[in-house]
Structure 1
Amino acid sequence: MRSFLKYLGWTLLVLVLALFVAVGLGVQTRPLVPPPPAAISPADVEQAKHFLRRNDPRQLAPGSLGTLRVSEQELGLLLAYLSSRHPQAAAQARLTAGAAELEASWALGGPFWLNVRARLEEDAGLPALRDLRLGALPVPDGLAAWLREQLLTRLAMNEELRLARQLLRHVSVRPGQLQLVYEWRHDSYRRLLDSLMPAAEQARLQAYHQALHRLSRQWRGPVSLSQVLPPLFALAAERSATGDATAENRALLLVLAAQASGRGLGTLLPAARSWPRPVVEFSLHGRPDFPMHWLISAALSAHAGGPLADAIGLYKEIADSRDGSGFSFNDIAADRAGSRLGLLAVQQPQRLQQRLASGVAESALLPDVSDLPEYLSAAEFRQRYGEIGSPAYQAMQQSIETRLDASPLLAPLLP
């Protein structure tokens, strides 16, 4: 018995020491991958737009195979965006012949980081995981294969990712390019849209869509956002008493943004095409364009983060300066105001509901910006402000931020 207890004690000691060694090798004090820049540029938005057009699967005949081609730069942009949504993590990838070399860092708190290196090598179907290292600790390929299967099982719990795996046929890697071969079916587009909106989310959207439809029957002509928001946020506050306040705010803003865009919710959610569509136009400071900028930026910010909403708003103004209505700093101000409110909708969801449900002035939603330059052609913009980011441009941006800071509603979201 004494020999057994002695053996058991030594075994436990060895296991504890092995655990300490593993943790010491796996945890490091510096990140392998530095955090990417927080800002998303208009050039990034332009690149994403071309990527979506180039890889639009709706151009395929049902039952045919399509190939999604992602360059190393585009993959890097996606990883940087995901890092902006999860600041505790950062990742980068290098695409070589037959393999993708991945590096990632995860903040553990304090000065400690979990750094991961791995190779994804082409296989018959999905890539195989090879050369996995946690910090300085190598992971045997057999254990890495088991971890890969566990990860795929967890990802399959997500409807969107489960659908993607069902469609995916093969992954190949070339120098600087990732290729994903998939089968496009007759119901793939509908299933993809539905997967992005789970049943609970669709129910929320329908609740605010129906509420907007009821309200729209009592409005005549363009109606100010100061009249639209209070009753809808009062409904959000009521529903949040037994639900998720952040999810309620996101659904509300998405319904209003879809209405302001002129396309309706059916573009994003096929089931909504059978819902009675509200007939209403919004206004803000007497203008019909401000609500579109404000609401779309608010919805984007609430769902995807402020930097993306700001970059898309700036991209649109640059495009307008080339062949549209011209670059308008007051549109940028409406974008920024909506972006701030969208962040408030997820950072302080119940507080926002209470404040808006009790009534709100137009000046709180968007301060007076009628004196800001607008309708500037590309040539006029360059003559007066040079390039995006120049001192003159930054001065205009600061003027906008100062005005938004003065709003008692938007002030809590100071950059």
Structure 2
Amino acid sequence: MDSVHAHQLASDLLDALQDPSRNHAVTVTQVQLDALERLVNHGVGTIRPRFEIGKNGAVADITIDLGQKGYLNLSAHVRESRNGFPPLALRIGSVRVPSKVTRWLLNRSVTALDLPPTPEARLDRFITRFVVSRPGQAVVNIQPDPELFEGLKAMAPHFSTSVDPALVRFYYNSLLDRDLRSGVGAKSFATFVNTTFRIVVQRSERRDPAAETRAALVALSMITLGPDAKNLARMVAPFDAPCVPEPSLFTLAGRTDLPKHFSLSAALSILFADRFSRAAGEWKELSDSAASGGTGFSFVDLMADRAGLRLGMAANGDLSLLREVQYGLAYVGDERLLPVAALRRLREGLSYKAFEEQYVSINDERYRQMIAQIDEELDRIPLYKATPKPDIG
């Protein structure tokens, strides 16, 4: 159930941050933080977080593996505040930064944005309250500030997304126009992919091939998911996201769920680290197997996840290989996107109990062998021979 708790926390925070019209009270529990901690530990191997809600505040300790350079330890201690931005003390390695110094640095950052009113008022208006309501539970009141977010993003472009919002909008509008003109009813996802990437191939002759590919894959995900893509759209353009209508019914290998798995995994691997995107797919399947209304654990869905993940990774990789991927997608069909015959041999609909009985966990060698078999089937398709292969486990 970890993925359920982590998803609930992420959803609550995203919903609050994306609605600047009012003040939001977001409840954070230790159970949710523990779930998030395990998800990050599994998905991002170089980062080890620990979160704890205490009597008078909360602590976050993060260890970052720097490889041959060793480790970097970071710590943040947030104390309760019933009126305004909470006191925040930091520790970077052995260097301690008291809460007053942290607040001064934050104020200086906001001052550099030249936003009215004073920086103190701006921060206190953003987080208006942080209290521990009971053991293992805290409540934070947030008033989203679009101007502050956009200003900080402009000051730190190295933290911004690798996707060009204007390019995403171009491809999204092109796809939407083609979708509306093609009428109602089920539509071939492969046909939409190849018509899109014929445009990508042409534009890449005189523009950045990687930027064109990334934008096209993200736009494909948005048009495939419909309203479910609203959070994805806001990650690309937080306060200028395109309107996302009801999705058309796209099919891949005779199924309507596989285009969503395929395109979302590609988009997430572009926007985030490939390890985190892989983990998100696995945790989603485990959530489905545990939830009463879930569809069960599906290796079929995971094959679509890994196929999309590999294409997303290729968009951030070697340019010569990327051009091969572009041409492959420009002339793709169902059999060239996924090995349809192999899909029919994979198990799905496994309950959480059935999954545990056969595979124990996603760290077990039997599970890892299944993922290796899925990758071998994908390798038989020419398109994926030019793509990086994500880690297993």
TM-score bracket, normalised by the shorter chain, equals 0.5 to 0.7
Identity %: 26
Residue number in structure 2 paired with 1:344 = 314
Tell me how far apart the structure 1 counterparts of residues 113 and 39 of structure 2 sit (CA, whole Å): 20
2:130–2:140 Cα contact (<8 Å) kept: yes
Tell me how far apart the structure 1 counterparts of residues 372 and 211 of structure 2 sit (CA, whole Å): 32
Local SS of the residue matching 1:355? helix
Tell me how far apart the structure 1 counterparts of residues 3 and 24 of structure 2 sit (CA, whole Å): 24
2:126–2:143 Cα contact (<8 Å) kept: yes
Give the partner amino acid of 1:170. Answer: R
Alignment partner of 1:385 out of 358, 370, 388: 358
Note the C-alpha offset of 1:371.
3.5
Local SS of the residue matching 2:129? strand
Alpha-carbon distance change, 56 to 225 in structure 1, aligned in 2, over 3 angstroms: closer
Tell me how far apart the structure 2 counterparts of residues 333 and 205 of structure 1 sit (CA, whole Å): 26
Alignment partner of 2:219 out of 241, 255, 262: 255
Tell me how far apart the structure 1 counterparts of residues 296 and 74 of structure 2 sit (CA, whole Å): 47
Tell me how far apart the structure 2 counterparts of residues 126 and 383 of structure 1 sit (CA, whole Å): 44
Q: Following superposition of structure 1 onto structure 2, how do residues 200-215 of structure 1 map, counting pairs within 5 Å?
A: 201-215=164-178
Residue number in structure 2 paired with 1:127 = 86
Tell me how far apart the structure 2 counterparts of residues 153 and 109 of structure 1 sit (CA, whole Å): 36
Per-residue displacement from partner, 1:86-130 (whole Å, max 9, x unpaired)? Answer: 876554343323343443445667435444445333454222344
Instruction: Tell me if 1:398 matches 2:372.
Output: yes
Give the partner amino acid of 2:192. Answer: V
Tell me how far apart the structure 1 counterparts of residues 44 and 361 of structure 2 sit (CA, whole Å): 27
Residue number in structure 1 paired with 2:50 = 92
Note the C-alpha offset of 1:230.
3.2
Alpha-carbon distance change, 113 to 244 in structure 1, aligned in 2, over 3 angstroms: farther
Tell me how far apart the structure 2 counterparts of residues 242 and 83 of structure 1 sit (CA, whole Å): 41
Instruction: Tell me if 1:290 matches 2:258.
Output: yes
Note the C-alpha offset of 1:336.
1.6
Note the C-alpha offset of 1:206.
2.7
Tell me how far apart the structure 1 counterparts of residues 124 and 101 of structure 2 sit (CA, whole Å): 22
Note the C-alpha offset of 1:243.
6.2
TM-score relative to the length of structure 2? 0.68
Residue number in structure 2 paired with 1:38 = none
Alignment partner of 2:303 out of 329, 333, 336: 333
Residue number in structure 1 paired with 2:331 = 359
Residue number in structure 2 paired with 1:47 = 5
Tell me how far apart the structure 1 counterparts of residues 264 and 102 of structure 2 sit (CA, whole Å): 43
Residue number in structure 1 paired with 2:118 = none
Alpha-carbon distance change, 219 to 50 in structure 1, aligned in 2, over 3 angstroms: closer
Note the C-alpha offset of 1:208.
1.1
Note the C-alpha offset of 1:305.
3.4
Q: Which sits farther off after the overlay, 357-366 or 234-243?
A: 234-243
Tell me how far apart the structure 2 counterparts of residues 287 and 171 of structure 1 sit (CA, whole Å): 46
TM-score relative to the length of structure 1? 0.65
Tell me how far apart the structure 2 counterparts of residues 163 and 296 of structure 1 sit (CA, whole Å): 35
Alpha-carbon distance change, 67 to 265 in structure 1, aligned in 2, over 3 angstroms: closer
Local SS of the residue matching 2:331? coil
Residue number in structure 2 paired with 1:28 = none
Alpha-carbon distance change, 328 to 107 in structure 1, aligned in 2, over 3 angstroms: closer
Per-residue displacement from partner, 1:56-94 (whole Å, max 9, x unpaired)? Answer: 858xx9976432122345346556767889876554343
Local SS of the residue matching 1:409? helix
Instruction: Tell me if 1:306 matches 2:274.
Output: yes
1:94–1:101 Cα contact (<8 Å) kept: yes
Residue number in structure 2 paired with 1:147 = 105
Note the C-alpha offset of 1:344.
1.9
Alpha-carbon distance change, 241 to 323 in structure 1, aligned in 2, over 3 angstroms: same
Alignment partner of 1:181 out of 130, 141, 163: 141
Structure 1 unaligned regions, length at least 5: 1-42
1:91–1:102 Cα contact (<8 Å) kept: yes
Local SS of the residue matching 2:170? helix
Residue number in structure 1 paired with 2:383 = 409
Local SS of the residue matching 2:255? coil
Instruction: Tell me if 1:233 matches 2:191.
Output: no
Tell me how far apart the structure 2 counterparts of residues 156 and 354 of structure 1 sit (CA, whole Å): 47
1:260–1:291 Cα contact (<8 Å) kept: yes
Tell me how far apart the structure 1 counterparts of residues 326 and 57 of structure 2 sit (CA, whole Å): 52
Note the C-alpha offset of 1:392.
4.7
Residue number in structure 2 paired with 1:35 = none
2:209–2:322 Cα contact (<8 Å) kept: no
Note the C-alpha offset of 1:404.
2.0
Note the C-alpha offset of 1:376.
3.6
CA RMSD between the two structures: 4.7
Note the C-alpha offset of 1:334.
1.4
Tell me how far apart the structure 2 counterparts of residues 79 and 165 of structure 1 sit (CA, whole Å): 28
Note the C-alpha offset of 1:286.
3.8
